[in-house]
Amino acid sequence: MADELKKPVEGGFKKLLKNIGSAIEDAASLEVSTFTGKFNYQAVELIRNEVDRARVDSVLKKMTLTGDVNLDLFAFTSIKIDSDVTSVVRPDINLEEHKDLLNFHKEMLTESRAARKEIINTVKDLVKNI
């Protein structure tokens, strides 16, 4: 790379490092929320709207605009970095009826925890070298 390009690249890296350094604070807690409902939003529409590029926000917005949203919080779990765990679940949970939903929430919790741990390790590895 020519010298004139070297400086911006160095600048880019420094900026990246700064951003990564500040990310560690954001990773101090983890919250997993699971909502369920009849969205009247057909799966086929998700596909038609190019699922790969769909944004959850825009999906939600579209669902809201249709006026048919009946969004229920099924479960909410909060985990602090010091391992405090808070869970909120619907009072009318039926273990048999809601088995799949519960499994889903639990799976996402497990995966999110693992992913968060990896991010924290990444940031730690970086910070120790700065």
Interface residues toward other proteins, by CB under 8 A = 1, 5-6, 8-13, 15-17, 19-20, 23, 26-27, 29-39, 41-44, 46-47, 51-56, 59-60, 74, 99-101, 103-105, 107-109, 111-112, 114-115, 118-119, 122, 125-126, 129-130
Closest of 14, 18, 45 to residue 123, by C-alpha? 18
Residue nearer to other proteins on the CB measure, 50 or 91: 50
The number of residues in the chain equals 130
- Minimum CB separation of residue 53 from other proteins in Å reads 7
Residue that the structure tokens 């009247």 belong to: 40
Helix 99-127 and helix 3-26: axis angle, to 10°?
A: 130
DSSP assignment of 49-76 equals T-GGG--HHHHHHHHHHHT----EEEEE
- Minimum CB separation of residue 26 from other proteins in Å reads 4
Residue nearer to other proteins on the CB measure, 8 or 91: 8
Residue nearer to other proteins on the CB measure, 60 or 91: 60
Cα(35)–Cα(47) distance, integer angstroms: 21
- Minimum CB separation of residue 64 from other proteins in Å reads 12
- Minimum CB separation of residue 85 from other proteins in Å reads 13
- Per DSSP, 32 falls in state E
